[in-house]
A and B are shown apart, each in its own frame.
Chain A
Amino acid sequence: METLHNLAFGFEHALTLHNLMYCAIGCVVGTVVGLLPGLGPLATISLLLPLTYSIDTTSALIMLAGIYYGAQYGDSVSAITMKIPHASSIVACIDGYSMTLKGKTGLALFTAGISSFIGGTVAIVVLAWLAPVLGEVALLFGPADYCALMLFGFVCVSFVTTGSLLNGFAMCMVGVLLGMIGTDVNSGVQRYTMDLPSLADGVSLVSIALGMFGIAEITKNLDEKEERSPFNGKINLIPTWPEFKRIIPSALRGSAVGSFMGILPGGGTVIAQFAAYAVERKVSKYRDEIGHGAIEGVAGYAAADEAAARTSFIPLMSIGIPENAVMALMMGAFIIKGIQPGPNMIASHPHIFWGLVASMWVGNVFLVVLNVPLVRYWLSLFKIPYNVLFPAILFFCCVGTYSINNNLDDVYQTAAFGLAGYVFLRLGLDAAPMMLGFILGPMLEENFRRTMLLSRGDFAVFFQHPISATLLVMIALFIVWQVFSFIRNKGATKPLIDVMPQEE
């Protein structure tokens, strides 16, 4: 009952004309930019982050959330119509693209849109109910537990996003080190600033994100030198009734799976999609058709995708620890806006929390009524050749970096991270865990130093607290399992996610 009351309170904030507008803008811009080749949700959010600087806090966060799930949907669209996958939409390339090959693009896009709506709705119920409960659990966490939780998050993210614990964890550590740059809050010493005044406040979040995910991605696409053929087929969005009936059960199953996977540390949309797809292949009535363009293959993953995109806000907003790179970026945006996500957020900024939750549902509605019918027009974006697109994206990277501090020198930072990002990419290192490390680095140090101060330098404290002890034991088991499987496979590290269809 209280939840309902709170939701009503949230809708009061989300349904003002002002916030509705920003929600709509966020969804639309997010979808459009997410559609562009080579720009996944991470790049999209960092590219559009500067747009939100001049807006008030609630609207800015509503708009950012809109950008996020808009980008998520835009990704699916480019995957379904042209098989251009980002990490967040690999599953869409399987059944979604097969449906396009059969001439059922419209049905696939409609299924993805409607399933996203169902997934999002279910996830919001979970979010509204679970986040406050978890927030109370989070108050039991001491500094040692926070340290262990962050390390656990690093391990999970490393494994899920890169498939290699070692590479991912190394990148988390690189991120933590980058997070050390700037003035040490405890002693006032300037660390790693090389006496540059622009580094005294630390490396800018937008510079890292735009460099690593924007510029590095663009260069990678340029290296590939392939011009994508735009989608020219017909789109017939309205499904028949029997087709519509097939969407619902799969979407509901996907929502449940996605909501659950979204909450887990290191979880998020990618793992949720694969889990939902696997579930559909096991239990669906039409499981024989899956893989060859079945509605269920699209509905399940799309619902899980949107559900996980929303429930992954739960750890961020209730415990204050982002569980993946996108949420780390979100947390950065929250902090720029002066909001510290965590157990106290719901109590101290109820209008922001509930307004955001309510706006997620409003964004869902926009996605269905606005984006799905309009998607055919946005697909014409792909008729713009990449040769035209990439100088424009570079320009937006420059303007985005510049407008944070109105300082042109910041563009050098972005360029440097672009170069570093490209080197990482070519060395097979994924930048996503680094993002998480960068955001969590200062928090990890703070909690580590506090733990050590309280225990007078005794490491045993990590094993005396039940929460941190459990988490550390889980990390240890994970490492042992990884070492064991390395020895058994003689070093062939296979990615966890290896279902990219190879044939055309």
Chain B
Amino acid sequence: MNDQNLLRGLFLAIIAGVFGVMATRYSVGTFAHAGPGLFPLLVSCLLGVIAVFMVVRSRIVPKVPVDFSIRNIGIIMVALCGFVVVSELLNMIAGIFFLVFVSAFAGTSYSWVRNLKIFAVLLAVAFAFQKLLGLNLPLI
């Protein structure tokens, strides 16, 4: 299963499937009087055909292993979503704190002092954005 070509085809097939099935739930209409579902359905079908072709081709060409590490992307996703949750619950200062201290786990080394420095600088930048550029950041 660990084959880039095969997985690529399957992944695109899933996208085509999801969009295609949902398109049929809107009115499709005829070509002369297209409904909102017609064009997405058409594009999904085209994408589906390409995806099937890719799957078939992956049987012919040599396999390419996928190099996928869940760790870093996972940390980044947690940091970003946490930033939103914390900013909504408390304020954006806490959000930035969370973002910096969690995302830093994805780096090559982890240092509290360094994180505090980054946090301080970013906080200053955020206040500058708010006061000087007029961005409406919910800092406090």
A residues within 8 A CB of B30?
457
**Closest chain A CB from B45 CB (angstroms):** 10
Bound-state Cα–Cα, A430 to B114, Å: 34
Partner of A395, one of B37, B99, B134, B136: B99
Partner of A180, one of B40, B100, B108, B117: B40
What residue in chain B is nearest A409 (Cβ atoms)?
B84
What residue in chain B is nearest A444 (Cβ atoms)?
B39
What residue in chain B is nearest A459 (Cβ atoms)?
B31
What residue in chain A is nearest B134 (Cβ atoms)?
A54
B residues within 8 A CB of A166?
50, 53-54, 57
The SS class assigned to the B binding surface is helix
Q: Contact between B60 and A394 (Cβ–Cβ < 8 Å)?
A: no
Q: Contact between B108 and A387 (Cβ–Cβ < 8 Å)?
A: yes
A residues within 8 A CB of B36?
184, 186-187, 189, 191
Q: Contact between B80 and A414 (Cβ–Cβ < 8 Å)?
A: yes
Give the interface segment out of A69-77, A216-224, A244-252, A368-376.
Answer: A216-224
Q: What does the 1/0 interface line of B72-93 toward A look like (CB < 8 Å)? A: 1100110111011001100000
Within 8 A of B (CB), among A378-431: 386-388, 390-392, 394-395, 397-399, 402-403, 406, 408-409, 411-412, 414-415, 418-419, 422-423, 426-429
Given A219-B76, A399-B129, A491-B57, A429 contacting B81 (CB threshold 8 A) = no
Bound-state Cα–Cα, A167 to B22, Å: 23
B residues within 8 A CB of A419?
73, 77
Given A173-B47, A427-B11, A453 contacting B33 (CB threshold 8 A) = yes
A residues within 8 A CB of B87?
408
| Interface residue range, chain A | 35 or more
Q: Contact between A394 and B79 (Cβ–Cβ < 8 Å)?
A: yes
Bound-state Cα–Cα, A218 to B69, Å: 14
Q: B: which residues have CB within 8 A of A?
A: 4, 7-8, 11-12, 15-16, 19, 22-23, 26-27, 30-40, 43-44, 46-47, 50-51, 53-54, 57, 60-61, 64, 66-69, 72-73, 76-77, 79-81, 83-84, 87-88, 95-96, 99-100, 103-104, 106-109, 114-115, 117-118, 121-122, 125-126, 129, 133-138
Q: A: which residues have CB within 8 A of B?
A: 51, 54, 166-167, 169-170, 173-174, 176-177, 180, 184, 186-187, 189, 191-192, 215, 218-219, 222-223, 225, 227, 386-388, 390-392, 394-395, 397-399, 402-403, 406, 408-409, 411-412, 414-415, 418-419, 422-423, 426-429, 445, 448-449, 452-453, 455-459, 490-493
